[in-house]
Amino acid sequence: MTFTHVVLYRAMNLGHRGSPVRAELEAALLDAGARSVRSFQTNGTVLLDPGEPDGGGDPSAAERVVRAAAPRLAERSGYAHPALVRPLDDVAAAIDGDPFALTRDERTYRDTLTFVDGGEPLTVDLPWTDPRDLLDLVAARPGVVLAVVRGGPGTGGDPNSVVERLTGGVATTRTLGTVRRLLAAAARA
Ranges of residues in the chain whose predicted pLDDT is under 50: none
pTM of the model: 0.94
pLDDT at 151: 85
Which amino acid is residue 66, in one-letter code?
V
Q: Rounded to 5 degrees, what angle do the CA atoms 49, 55, 60 make? A: 55
pLDDT at 88: 95
Residue-wise pLDDT tens digits, 114-147? 999 999 999 899 999 999 999 999 999 999 999 9
pLDDT at 55: 56
- Angle, helices 22-31 vs 61-77, to 10°: value is 130
Pairing of strands 36-40, 128-129: unpaired
44: phi then psi, degrees, rounded to nearest 5: 80, 30
